Amino acid sequence: MTTNGTPSPPSPPVRVGLVAGGLGAYWPQFPDLLPQLKRSADRVSERMRELGAEVIDVGFISDAQEGAVAAEKLRAAGCDIIVGFLTTYMTATMLVPVAQRADAPVLLINLQPTESMDHATFDTGQWLAYCGACPLPEMANAFMRCDIPFRSVSGYLEDERAWTKIGRWVRAAGVRAALRRGRHGLMGHLYPGMMDVSTDLTLVSANFGGHVEVLEFDDLRVRVEKVTGAEAEAKRAEAEKIFELDPSVNDDDFAWAARVAVGLDRLAEDFELDSLAYYHRGLDGEIHERLGAGMILGASLLTARGIPAAGEYELRTSLAMLIADRLGAGGSFTELQALDFQRGHVEMGHDGPAHLAISARRPLLRGLGVYHGKRGYGVSVEFDVKHGPVTAIGIVQRRDGRYGLVASEGETVDGPHLKIGNTTSRVDFGCDPGEWTDAWSATGISHHWALGTGHRVAELRDLADLMEIDLVEVRP
């Protein structure tokens, strides 16, 4: 994602391990078959790269021995997803070892050369190039008996419907990898009384992988103290290019927010953070209270750069925001604000970090005399998510400690907004807003979630499959 032309640092490309194969007994019988199948494999490799993937192509295998060699190469490569291209009939012994050793999700693809054979002219060798569907049930049976999860896409080589599905699986594998490799900062302490927000840190690694870095607000304080006047002024100038400034913005508060933003940049860099959740109450205007009140500008800038930051110590929501960002959906920190039964809208947003790349207009900085329910004062971000398709994305923690995804697709629409420094959006879920709210709450979702652009349930369903967790879609 980008904000006003400023690119986010690129995420590492998805590492796709590609192996194509067919039964070697055919090659001496039908000399033209193997060259044709290899051309198809080269085209698949090319299309994978067009998806933005780093392709580890171990070539074409013709028997179980070559399959074992390919398995070792892909195991060593550390792939995010293994794609097995069934070009014609091949035995399960050729691909099962690849799946067993790779420690990565497996996608089987069956893409025949064209939409249909020329039945009047084809001989057996030409038919066999269209026979990739033949081994798919065999693979499925063997994989299930070996307790190896898999998924498949069948189509033809230039079938855009099939490539749309393949692209979703590849993107989902990239999100899974970002979670498994991620470093997630948790700074401060729990907002008092929020039982839903409390997170067992071990459960993050158990469900998603990755590492939770426990931070103190003093880790931010010492970095803010070292910010020079020139650095703070440069950050302020950056903010003035991005934001519209409301007359309510106090100059001292703005200068402080810019200084804190520089400190946040250093914090994220020093701890190599991929996400951040934070909260600190503080008392009587001391430094930690001032830091907490000065976070929203810098946290929004971090979020726009692809390092999502969530307030109120909402670790699971910062992870949901990371998922949304890596899907290209943005993902702003969000909660329920009000229901408009007259217009049929759910009003949602927050006075916390926003993903500036998905704002409907130039985002506004507004000065606040008080943050609702929190100590401190300062500047906050006000915007409305781009009007059009959106998806609410949350992570729910079940009683047994398992995580699940919760999602609901709607449309952001026009309407009146409060001018209180919140990221308020009006969402039409196509039903009575009260019914939607009851159904959404019944999932066990916590106080906050991410609101991202686009309808993303299909992508989230693929992600849930790869991560072996549940997805609950709310559609009352």
Written as one string, the DSSP assignment of 64-104 is HHHHHHHHHHHHHHT-SEEEEEE-S---GGGTHHHHHHH-S
DSSP reduced 3-state for 365: strand
d(CA 303, CA 158): 37
pLDDT of residue 1: 43
State both tokens at 179: 């979670």
Model pLDDT, residue 370? 59
Looking at residue 211, its pLDDT comes to 97
Partners of 110 in the β-ladder: 154
> What pLDDT is recorded for position 372?
52
pLDDT in tens, 276-316: 999 998 888 899 999 998 999 999 999 999 999 999 999 99
Which pLDDT value is given to residue 229? 97
DSSP designation for 172: H
Weakly modelled stretches of the chain, pLDDT under 70 = 1-10, 352, 369-377
pLDDT of residue 350: 84
| Domains within the chain, CATH numbers bracketed | 2-179 (3.40.50.10940), 182-473 (3.20.14)
Q: Using alpha carbons only, what angle is made at residue 49 by residues 43 and 50, rounded to the nearest 5 degrees?
A: 90
